Amino acid sequence: MTTTIKLPSIGDIDAAEVIEIMVSPGDSLEQESPILALETDKAAMEIPSPEAGTVGEVLVKVGDKLSEGDALLTLEVSDQNGDASKTQAENKPEDERPPQSPPESEPTNTQEPPPEAPPAASGSAPDPQKYQAATTGLVHAGPAVRKMARKLGADLSQVKGSGPRGRIVKEDVEAFVKQSLQQPRDGLPIAPRPSIDFSEFGDIETIELSKIQVLTGEHTHSAWLRIPHVTQFDRADITDLEDFRKKEKEHLAKREIKLTLLPFLIKAAVSALKAYPRVNSSLDDDGKHLIQKHYFHISIAVDTPYGLVVPVVRNADQKSLSELASEVADLAKRARARKLAGHEMKGGCFTLTSLGHIGGTGFTPIINEPEVAIMGISRAATEAVHNGKTFDPRLILPLSLSYDHRVIDGVLAAQFTRHFAEVLEDSRRLLI
Ligand code: CAO
């Protein structure tokens, strides 16, 4: 028998908008299967079918405004023997009808929501086959969340719910979309990191990352994913340079300038960038052109208690060693006091990242995008170097140049790094 399913009382609401229709003619419905989703200014709710049966005609469409008693669809109802018969609900007077389940509504609903229907093409009902597949996926989300997911094109079956009993909330969809946007466009998708409760294994505490650490994480992560990195290793004999630095350091100390190795590294970088200008470039947004820079702004990685900060020494080619020493000290001091202005961390051509005051024999720095190369400096150590007849103690500085292989090929990277090393090996070249 055919019966008409009408909108039950949904509280003090008289014009709820249909935001999704989850059935189409011919669908078999269980009792309590969701048939459509409604939304008002305050809440979203699913309307379940009070009867099992086969959908005849759907009498509403997405966008309709409904009130209590409006006809939703016709249902061919089966009796317990499988015969179609008129429903009790339709035949009985209003006050004798079996109570309907309250519609699911947000945010007050605490009931297990019904499974998720797949997003339908706008204005059309979901494909029954797809719906069947989706009902096995047990996605727990309310209609408002589903509406949001549909708008953003998020597949809810892939979203991990953080609400009660794994229910998906709006924040989960936002986090999912954000993560999806950060995924590389081509190739294999990166599986989301499994959520682990580390307290299962022992005592833990949760420490909030600083804003700088979060931003640095995002920047290095995208650079790591986007740029094909290769690292070229080399070594520079800085024995003579170090003798010179120590003498000059004493003189400059009287002017309260601390002459470390870094100003010499900046000079070497400028010299190598002049000799190999392609390293002083950035890829254009179209990926088909290079932006060649004719200025020499050197970025310096500075370790601070709040995370890594990378200020820029502008026009390093026009500054003396003592000027560079003063400027680096000032930038590092202000970086650690969080006193750098935003523009002082922009516009770099090439980055120097020195871990030499700590140790290490080499590392693979991540390129500071949109630059195309970065030089990592490790700790200088005295080694026995053969001079053709005997072994000499020489101070050797390890260099690690990471470069963007889309812009720089291996030969250029090796030439650039060698040039950088040779400038340090013969400090007279710094004058050129
Ligand atoms: N080998 C041996 N000694 C070195 C050295 C090296 N490669 N580099 C520096 N040193 C020495 C310095 O010459 C100085 O010695 P003296 O006191 O005898 O002159 C001492 O180590 C301390 O140097 P410094 O750190 O005060 O100064 P700096 O100019 O070398 O570096 C700065 C300044 C700001 C770059 C540094 O303090 C810093 O923050 N480095 C960390 C950068 C970083 O975190 N990189 C990693 C990025 S990826 O996470």
Could you tell me the distance, in angstroms and rounded to a whole number, from the CA of residue 356 to the centre of ligand 1? 5
Task: Examine residue 263 and state whether it is found in any structural domain, yes or no.
Answer: yes
Task: Examine residue 16 and state whether it is found in any structural domain, yes or no.
Answer: yes
Query: Tokens 């996926």 appear where?
Result: 137
Are residue 252 and residue 310 in the same domain, yes or no? yes
Are residue 369 and residue 307 in the same domain, yes or no? yes
Q: Residues 324, 315: contact at Cβ < 8 Å?
A: no
Task: Examine residue 424 and state whether it is found in any structural domain, yes or no.
Answer: yes
| CA distance linking residue 195 with residue 277, whole number of Å | 46
Task: Examine residue 199 and state whether it is found in any structural domain, yes or no.
Answer: no
Residue nearest to atom 45 of ligand 1 (CA): 353
Could you tell me the distance, in angstroms and rounded to a whole number, from the CA of residue 303 to the centre of ligand 1? 10
| CA distance linking residue 394 with residue 412, whole number of Å | 27
Which atom of ligand 1 is the closest one to the Cα of 262?
29
Cα 139–140–146 angle (5° rounding)? 85
pLDDT of residue 319: 97
Question: DSSP characters for 340-369?
Answer: --GGGGS--SEEEEE-TTT--S---PPP-T
Are residue 16 and residue 156 in the same domain, yes or no? yes
34 CB contacts (<8 Å, ≥6 apart)? 22, 46, 47, 48, 49, 104, 114, 117
Are residue 177 and residue 290 in the same domain, yes or no? no
Task: Examine residue 106 and state whether it is found in any structural domain, yes or no.
Answer: no
DSSP 141: B
Residue of 430, 158, 425 whose CA lies nearest to 271 = 430
Cα separations in angstroms, 73 against 4, 21, 288, 409: 6, 11, 57, 67
pLDDT of residue 313: 98
Which of the listed residues 224, 260, 266 should we mutate to test ligand 1's pocket, taking the one with most ligand atoms within 8 A of CB? 260
pLDDT in tens, the chain (432 residues): 899 999 988 776 778 888 778 889 999 988 888 888 787 766 667 788 898 999 999 999 988 999 889 999 999 987 654 444 333 334 333 433 333 343 443 333 333 333 333 333 333 333 333 333 233 335 677 777 887 888 888 888 888 888 766 778 888 998 888 888 766 666 677 787 889 999 999 999 999 999 999 999 999 999 999 999 999 999 999 999 999 999 999 989 988 999 999 999 999 999 999 999 999 999 999 989 999 999 999 999 999 999 999 999 999 999 999 999 999 999 999 999 999 999 999 999 999 999 999 999 999 999 999 999 999 999 999 999 999 999 999 999 999 999 999 999 999 999 999 999 999 999 777 766
Are residue 295 and residue 421 in the same domain, yes or no? yes
Q: Which residues of 51-60 are buried (b: 16+ CB within 10 A; e: fewer)?
A: bebbbbebeb
Are residue 216 and residue 178 in the same domain, yes or no? no
Are residue 228 and residue 354 in the same domain, yes or no? yes
CATH of the domain at 292: 3.30.559.10
Which atom of ligand 1 is the closest one to the Cα of 259?
19
pLDDT of residue 79: 60
| CA distance linking residue 401 with residue 374, whole number of Å | 6
pLDDT of residue 290: 97
pLDDT of residue 311: 97
Are residue 262 and residue 408 in the same domain, yes or no? yes
Backbone angles phi, psi at 240, to 5 degrees: -70, -40
Are residue 176 and residue 265 in the same domain, yes or no? no
Could you tell me the distance, in angstroms and rounded to a whole number, from the CA of residue 308 to the centre of ligand 1? 14
Residue of 97, 84, 83 whose CA lies nearest to 8 = 97
Are residue 227 and residue 350 in the same domain, yes or no? yes
Could you tell me the distance, in angstroms and rounded to a whole number, from the CA of residue 83 to the centre of ligand 1? 86
Residue nearest to atom 46 of ligand 1 (CA): 353
Are residue 228 and residue 336 in the same domain, yes or no? yes
For the chain, how many structural domains are there in total? 2
pLDDT of residue 411: 98
Helices 321-336, 239-253: axis angle to 10 degrees equals 70
Which of the listed residues 212, 245, 261, 355 should we mutate to test ligand 1's pocket, taking the one with most ligand atoms within 8 A of CB? 261
3-state secondary structure of 225: helix
3-state secondary structure of 32: coil
Question: DSSP characters for 161-224?
Answer: P-SGGG-B-HHHHHHHHHHHHHS-SSSSPPPPPPP--GGGTS-----PPPHHHHHHHHHHHHHH
Residues enclosing ligand 1, CB less than 6 A?
260-262, 300-303, 308, 328, 332, 353-357, 365, 377, 379-380, 397
Could you tell me the distance, in angstroms and rounded to a whole number, from the CA of residue 297 to the centre of ligand 1? 19
Q: Largest Cα–Cα distance of the chain, in whole Å?
A: 113
140 is in which domain, residue-wise?
2-90+127-182
pLDDT of residue 186: 61
219 annotated active-site: no
Task: Examine residue 408 and state whether it is found in any structural domain, yes or no.
Answer: yes
Task: Examine residue 61 and state whether it is found in any structural domain, yes or no.
Answer: yes
Task: Examine residue 113 and state whether it is found in any structural domain, yes or no.
Answer: no
